[in-house]
Amino acid sequence: MRDAPIGIFDSGFGGLTVARAVLDQLPHEPVLYLGDSARQPYGPKPIGEVREYALECLDHLVGRGVKVLVIACNSASAAVLRDARERYEVPVVEVILPATRRAVAASRNGHVGVICTEATAVSQAYEDAFAAAPQITLHTQPCPLFVEFVERGITSGPELLTVAFEYLAPLVDQSIDTLVLGCTHYPLLTGVLSYVLGDDVTLVSSADETAKDVYRLLVRHRMQRPAATSPPVHRFLTTGQPKEFRALGQRFFGPELDRVDQFSWVGV
């Protein structure tokens, strides 16, 4: 079991920021990544549809013998977390609760913002997660165009700045001092987010916080792969086009993402 890979699932590319953070903290662990890029984006889809697609992909990862499941997608986490923890025997880590804990600890004035997709906003998953912290007033702002900008390779420039000022204005008006990046695409936008919000607002990356949870889980349950073993072999699967996934995926993960295999979700 120690040599089994960490299974990471996302609707497409954004979860690669989580995979990158996991490998930075756990460099000896192999990763099996599955991006459902043929059916992305999940954000605008109904929760029921997101649930169906996500469980198909998670079933496949579990069938491949992963030792931990990471749902590296806020929309999917909101839709299937409870089902996944009842459905699978392996531990399941998601992206919402780790970021929530960090935001609660970081906030000084009790006003926390969350930027996310429409599906995550409608699910009220963050409202549920912050319910255990009554001292926090939560301000949720859907930012659907941010995903499109990132996947077009646009992480700066006047067009993005205009959209960012429009999206973030309600959060500025509420004097938030902490912002949760409630979509795994958003860490690529930290420059523009910090510019619009100012240095006094703490940005909480769900990718980084999720990786910390994976680390704690492996250490706690003594599931870490020994450092003295052979170098880990990572595999990246996509339901879309491997060439496209590799080209864009390197923006999220880095040049180490040198091979992507085609995976058909039909019949999973």
Residues annotated as part of the active site: 73, 183
DSSP letter string over 191-229? Answer: HHHHHHH-TTSEEEEHHHHHHHHHHHHHHHTT-PPPTTS
For residues 139 and 113, give the distance between their C-alpha atoms in angstroms, rounded to a whole number. Answer: 5
Residue recorded with tokens 């590296």: 72
Torsion region of 215: left, alpha or beta (phi above 0 gives left; psi -120 to 50 gives alpha): alpha
Tokens of 153: 């390779």
Do you know the residue count of the chain? 268
Cα–Cα distance between 191 and 17 in angstroms, integer? 16
Q: 3-state SS of 25-55?
A: HCCCCCEEEEECCCCCCCCCCCHHHHHHHHH
DSSP letters, 106-163, are H-SSSEEEEEE-HHHHHHTHHHHHHTT-TTPEEEEEE-HHHHHHHHTT--SSHHHHHH
Gyration radius from the chain CA atoms: 18
